[in-house]
Structure 1
Amino acid sequence: MARAVPAVERAFDVLELFLDTHELSAPEITAQLGLPRTTVHELVGTLSERGYLMPAGRGSNKFRLGVRGFQLGSAYAERLDLAREGQLVAEEIAERCQETVHVGVREGTEVLYVAKVDSSHPVRMVSAVGRRLPAHCTAVGKALLAALPSAEVDELYGKGRLKAMTEHSITTRKALRAELDRIAEDGVAREYCESNEAVACVAAPVRDHTGQVVAAISIAVPILRWNEETEAALSDLIRDGAATLSERLGHAERD
């Protein structure tokens, strides 16, 4: 790795303070970073000249992020490809667990799989990119549905019974609502033989730079390799994977 440039690091330190605070004065930046006052004034002056910072208002001694940062962020967002980024993260997860990993998006009441990495085991889930499944029968789909307002879920599914793919599938709105509430609280969706009698899955939602859930990522395991210990370990792994993919899509976690 190339040697870090201290002046550049300090400039980024200044900019990153504004991730959590809208406005800061030079003395506040000095106090938070512990840098010499003259250094902070030079950094703030340079960043302002380049459009990365701007005065918070007429007569104010505080600064806020300038338009240049927005332009860079917009350029980054325009070049993002969910399928490509999802494939890369799916490969990382599959390498760690040796199981099948999917990335899916919701289209109405269905899930469309946009990325996939196969398990290295001879016994594994058979699926394909481009395949569609009922959202309420899959871990990916339930992770996506859990991000919706209750009224929108009700509108999607109407009043009739939900289509079952196996005897384990959820078939009522009441049961689905209870499951989605649990997922929203826990952050991980789980499926046990609901879309395939021989497969169990865990999934977690993926967010973009706006904070919206735009996809979900899952790990699918044949039930012959499924137990409580495996479920717990893969739940932690899929949380990490979803966070990594979200970060690659521009999402910034807030404490």
Structure 2
Amino acid sequence: MQSKNKTVMRSMEILNLFINHAKLTFNEIIELSGIPKTSVYRMLQSLEEMALIDKDQHGKYSLGILFLRFGHLVSERIDIRQVALPSMEKVHKATGEAVNLIIRDGDESVYIEKLQSIQPVRLYTTIGRRSPLYAGACPRAILSFLPAQEREDYLARVELIPYAKGTISTMEALRHSISEARNRGYTKSFSELEDYTAAIAVPIFDHRGDVVAALSVAGIETNYTEETLDDFIALAKEAAAEVSLKLGYSDS
């Protein structure tokens, strides 16, 4: 049993090399893994037979087709709400503020999970609520990290309709906000969807590096001071990074 476990662990060490390397030669695998040559040879043969590893005409190894099939199954079956909920609960416990999770649906965002604020005055956001991608910290966290061409196509067709006194109303201001978000890694809003409310939000990425959701901390504007904002941002970033990691994202 111990011998079998050791073989499995060493095989995983070899497979893990391909997280950061698209292709590797036999000698590179030996050098990077530190596993004896004869053991690497036997394990590569077995991994090839199981379609977990593929060898091209130049003798270089890469992940096999089976991983692609498994990858599609995993991505199709992941419930992002269930993945994100534990991280959201930690933020909620630490802040007492509302914590929201949204995804994109066309040119809109949809709230798919919310933990209600424990504050006496609460925001009017419900699961299923829709908002335009340009308005509010959470929707704009998705917009800001879309691929450049996709983002530009959206900006070319969107009409900036005001929802509250702080809604972004000019394309110049929207572009500035997007640029700022991409530099800082988060978005913030004040009275954009409702008057006297505020939020900060962080994007969530999947295994391909695509933005698939956003997580926000939201509440009454008076609670979002210089003293509290840094804490809220740090907590939201940590939570979003946890969820992204669970979805297979790597920023390396």
* Shared fold per TM-score greater than 0.5: yes
Q: Who is 2:190 aligned against?
A: 192
Q: Who is 2:52 aligned against?
A: 52
Q: Who is 1:140 aligned against?
A: 138
Among candidates 229, 233, 236, match of residue 231 of structure 2 = 233
Deviations 1:92-122 (A, max 9, x none): 4323433211111233443211111123344
How much does 1:215 deviate? 1.6
**TM-score when scaled to structure 1?**
0.86
Closer, same or farther: CA 157–47 of 1 in aligned 2, 3 Å: same
Contact kept, 8 Å, 2:54 with 2:63, in 1: the verdict is yes
**What amino acid is aligned across from residue 247 of structure 1 in structure 2?**
L
Q: Aligned ranges for residues 60-209 of structure 1 at < 5 Å?
A: 60-148=58-146, 149=148, 150-158=151-159, 162-209=160-207
Give me the whole-angstrom Cα distance separating, in 1, the residues matched to 2:105 and 2:69: 30
| Unmatched runs of 5 consecutive residues or more in structure 1 | none
Alignment length, in residue pairs?
A: 246
2:92 is paired with a residue whose SS is helix
| Unmatched runs of 5 consecutive residues or more in structure 2 | none
Contact kept, 8 Å, 1:140 with 1:218, in 2: the verdict is yes
Contact kept, 8 Å, 2:109 with 2:131, in 1: the verdict is yes
Give me the whole-angstrom Cα distance separating, in 1, the residues matched to 2:112 and 2:73: 23
1:129 is paired with a residue whose SS is coil
Give me the whole-angstrom Cα distance separating, in 1, the residues matched to 2:219 and 2:6: 47
2:19 is paired with a residue whose SS is coil
Deviations 1:144-198 (A, max 9, x none): 221243531322325xxx2222222211111111111111222101112222223
1:136 is paired with a residue whose SS is coil
Match status 1:253 vs 2:250: yes
Give me the whole-angstrom Cα distance separating, in 1, the residues matched to 2:76 and 2:134: 31
Give me the whole-angstrom Cα distance separating, in 2, the residues matched to 1:82 and 1:220: 20
1:32 is paired with a residue whose SS is helix
Q: Who is 2:22 aligned against?
A: 22
How much does 1:33 deviate? 1.7
Give me the whole-angstrom Cα distance separating, in 2, the residues matched to 1:30 and 1:52: 18
Give me the whole-angstrom Cα distance separating, in 1, the residues matched to 2:216 and 2:17: 34
Closer, same or farther: CA 90–70 of 1 in aligned 2, 3 Å: same
What do you get for the CA RMSD once the two structures are aligned?
Answer: 2.2
Contact kept, 8 Å, 2:108 with 2:133, in 1: the verdict is yes
Give me the whole-angstrom Cα distance separating, in 2, the residues matched to 1:214 and 1:225: 28
**What amino acid is aligned across from residue 26 of structure 2 in structure 1?**
A
Contact kept, 8 Å, 2:136 with 2:192, in 1: the verdict is yes
Give me the whole-angstrom Cα distance separating, in 1, the residues matched to 2:215 and 2:122: 17
Give me the whole-angstrom Cα distance separating, in 2, the residues matched to 1:117 and 1:222: 15
1:24 is paired with a residue whose SS is coil
1:30 is paired with a residue whose SS is helix
Give me the whole-angstrom Cα distance separating, in 1, the residues matched to 2:136 and 2:119: 22
Q: Which runs of 4+ in 1 moved over 6 A?
A: none
1:130 is paired with a residue whose SS is coil
Contact kept, 8 Å, 2:166 with 2:190, in 1: the verdict is yes
**TM-score when scaled to structure 2?**
0.87
